[in-house]
Every structure is written in C-alpha cells, then in structure tokens.
Structure 1
Amino acid sequence: MCGRFALFTPVSELTNKVGAVMPEREIHPRYNVAPGTWVASIRQASEDSAPTLEEMWWGFRPSWAKGKGTQPINARVETVATNNYFKSAFAKHRCLVLADGWYEWIKNSSPKQPHYLCRRDREPLYFAAVYAERDDGGLGCAILTEQARGSAADVHDRMPLILDDDSLEHWLAPDLTHKETIHSMVRHIDAGLVEHWSVSTAVNKPSEGQGDELINPL
C-alpha cells in the first residue's frame, strides 16, 4: 500500500515535465504526508486545457456515494479499471500525486519499524492516482498500488504505482479512456531504481513533526 509519503522538492521543478500550470499559493515541503490531508496533484481537466497543479484530499469518495461510501486512500492497479467504485475515475479522471519518497513498515515489528523508500538517483516520484469530485465540491484522490518489485518487496508486498517520465502525459490525457489502450501506453519505473533504509519511529505519528530528520537513516 501507500499510507504515508514525503514531498520536499519544489513543486515548480516537478510540474515542468508535463507543463503544468502552477497555483498562486505556495506549497510547502512536507516529510510526513498522511491520509486525510491535502496533497499536491496534477490533473488535466480537458483536452483543450493544460495540466494544472492542484491540491486534492487524500481519500476517494465520489459525490454520487452521497457521503455513505468508503473513503479509500489506495486503489489496486489490478482491479481499478473494473471496480465499480473506481472504474469511471480510471477512464476519465486520472491524476499524478507528487512525492520524493514513501514510507512502509516492516511486518510484525514491535514497535512498528518504518522504512523510507525512494529512487537511488533521488529524482522525484510521480504516483499514478485517480480522483473524483467530493460532496463538498473539492477533489479527492486514491493512489494506485501494484505488487512490490525489487528491493521494495523486502519491506511490504505492495508499493505505489510510480510512472516513468514517458508515461506522464499519457496518464493525464483525457482522451485516453479505453483501459487496454491506457495499459499499453503507461509504464512503471524500473524496480532497480528503488532503494530503502530504516528511519525513526517518529514517522509513526504525523503529529510528531514534518522535518527532514524523518528521512535520515538510523
């Protein structure tokens, strides 16, 4: 799964790759982004518009659920295109969630031992995600996950679906709606690019801080 991540690279650097329009408001670095908060995302609302950087609520509950549906933070890549809760968003409302790395916890560790996972070259990450309009008119998203690959599998059996640079525009393109076409045009990054290390258990509680010390190796 993906239940916590960090974003500290200036978002202006991340938006350049897809030509996204920046908001007027500054987005500050965060080292412990938790579900149920606003996250920096890129979406393309229509074929005639440029991609835009927007903040979305990390929790997916479409307005048609009328406040009664679940509010998942993740969607499985294996079923997102066919699951009734997500399939419309997969076809029409795909987005990118921006990150530098994410956290996972070693199973059966006590206290729960977090690891920080990121690219070996420290390049930022683009998580594939889907979004929908919420009851309050805002946008809520869920990050796609896949079977863990490479060294990420040492920590957890799932990992976020991280797209390579050539897939970003295809993933955002509103005119791509057919699931087989989307799958054929989108690729994840090479598993060998990911590394990880153990970090402080202070990550376990988002209230304990947002400083860069959270990603320092133990």
Structure 2
Amino acid sequence: MCGRYAATKDPATLAAEFDALDATDDQAPATDYNVAPTKNVVAVVQRHPRDEDGEPDPSTTVRSLRVMRWGLIPVWAKDMSIGSRMINARSEKAATTSAFRTSVAKQRCLIPADGWYEWRRDGKVKQPFFMTRPDGHSIAMAGLWSVWRDPSQQDAPPVVSAAVLTTDAIGQLANIHDRMPLLMTPDQWAAWLDPDSAEVGELLGTPPPLDLVESLELRPVSTKVNNVRNNGPELLERDEEKADLTLFDNPR
C-alpha cells in the first residue's frame, strides 16, 4: 500500500520534470516530508483546455500540475469523510469498483513523490523504510482523481481528490510489504494521462519494470515518521542503528 510519502520539490521543478504547466495557482502545499491522507497534494493531469463558456477544445490537450486532496471522494458520496478510506485503489480491481471505475476511464493522474514510506514487521517491531530513487528524480505514482460536490451545500466549491493505485510488490520491495504503488516510467506517462483513451488495462496490469524497482534505495529511517505531526528533513535520514539491517533475514 501507500499511506505516507515525501514531496519536497516546488511546482516549478515538478513542472519541468513532468513537462507540465504549473496550474496550482499558488495553492501548492509546502514542502512535506510526511505527506498523510487528507492533505493537499500535487498531481499531474492532462485535459482539454476550456474556453470562456467552459467548452473543451477537442483538438488539443494540456498537461498541468493541480492541487488535490489525498483520499478520493466518489461523486456519489454523501459526505467527504469517505475519502480518508480511499487513499489507495487496487490496480487489479479499480476498473470494476464503483468508487474508482469512472476515474479509471476518464480521470487518471500521476502523483509525484521523492519517495514513499513502508513498514516492515519483525515480530512486534515495525521498522519504517523510505523507498527513493538514488538519482534524485521523482517517483511517478499512478493515480486516479475525482470531482465531488457537497449535496448539502449547492454553492460550496467542488473538492478535487485523488487516490494512489497499488499493485503487488515485486523484487526487493516484497521483503518489506506485499503491496507497492503502481509506478509509471516516463515512456508510459502520455498513454496513462491521455484523457481520450479509456483503454488502460495493460498499464493497470503491468507491474513496474524490475530494474526500476531494484534500483530503488530502501532506506531504514527513524520511527519518528510514525507520528504525522513530525515533519522535517530528519525523517529522510538513514537510521544508522539500522544501517546493517538485512531485508532477507527474519522476513516479515
């Protein structure tokens, strides 16, 4: 699964990395070393631009950065509290699940991250790890998004929310947890974000390249990350007391 991650890059950096326009309108969340569910996050979408009357231009699309609430709120939800339980969507079932199937067909996104946290259980102890790319490039997690309007407040602004897709863990990650985010490589971004294509079953069913997973650094970090109130660069630091931790000893 993915229940916590780090996002420290500013919108300008992300816009350059994902070849996107910054449409966060100065609403982008601040540097966050401990992104938790229900927080605002930055996502990458590709949509048809709309004219002054709100009509989409079918001849072109624009890739942009948008601010969304982490925890997808289905359009049929009576209130937004359900979003806290919809932070992840299983890639194997999303296309047939009522909460996610419309988003799979029409509203897909990428959620950039420096890396994500996962916990490996060893008896009664849960050791957190930070999964990140050693080269400093962002990890692109496949996501889904939705627009929800509060049925009890017709004049309230809509809430745009998102979920991270997950898949079976592979390679070294399987020694930490049985699930992982569905990672997208740059050559997959255009097809995944294409708003005119609903045929993404192959992308949903294809695990991330093993060489990408094996290249990730699986860094043991302090249990300070367990508390969502802790938020600083020290959360990403390698826990030297756990530096010799061998993932293949005492498997979870």
TM-score (norm 2): 0.78
Q: How many residues align?
A: 216
Aligned match of 2:43: 41
Which protein is bigger by CA-based radius of gyration?
2
Alpha carbons 1:11, 1:27 under 8 Å: kept: no
- SS state at 1:15 partner: helix
Higher mean C-alpha deviation, range 86-95 or range 99-108: 99-108
- Residues 156 and 174 of structure 1: is their aligned pair in 2 closer, same or farther, counting only changes over 3 Å? same
> What one-letter code is carried by the residue in structure 1 that aligns with 2:19?
G
Query: Which runs of no fewer than 5 residues in structure 2 stay unpaired?
Result: 49-57, 151-157, 240-252
Residue 118 (structure 1) aligned with residue 161 (structure 2): no
Alpha carbons 2:74, 2:100 under 8 Å: kept: no
- Residues 110 and 88 of structure 1: is their aligned pair in 2 closer, same or farther, counting only changes over 3 Å? same
CA drift of 1:49 comes to 3.4
- Residues 16 and 70 of structure 1: is their aligned pair in 2 closer, same or farther, counting only changes over 3 Å? same
> What one-letter code is carried by the residue in structure 1 that aligns with 2:98?
N
Aligned match of 2:155: none
Tell me how large the CA RMSD over aligned residues is: 2.2
TM-score (norm 1): 0.89
Alpha carbons 1:164, 1:187 under 8 Å: kept: no
Query: Which runs of no fewer than 5 residues in structure 1 stay unpaired?
Result: none
Aligned match of 1:170: 191
- Residues 182 and 156 of structure 1: is their aligned pair in 2 closer, same or farther, counting only changes over 3 Å? closer
The aligned runs of 1:103-142 (5 Å cut-off) are 103-108=117-122, 110-136=124-150, 137-142=158-163
Aligned match of 1:79: 93
CA drift of 1:65 comes to 2.2
Aligned match of 2:112: 98
Question: Residues 117-162 of structure 1, C-alpha deviation per residue, up to 9 Å, x if partnerless?
Answer: 1123332111100011123512111100011112111111100011
- SS state at 2:95 partner: coil
Alpha carbons 1:35, 1:73 under 8 Å: kept: yes
How many percent identity over aligned positions? 35
- Residues 50 and 109 of structure 1: is their aligned pair in 2 closer, same or farther, counting only changes over 3 Å? farther
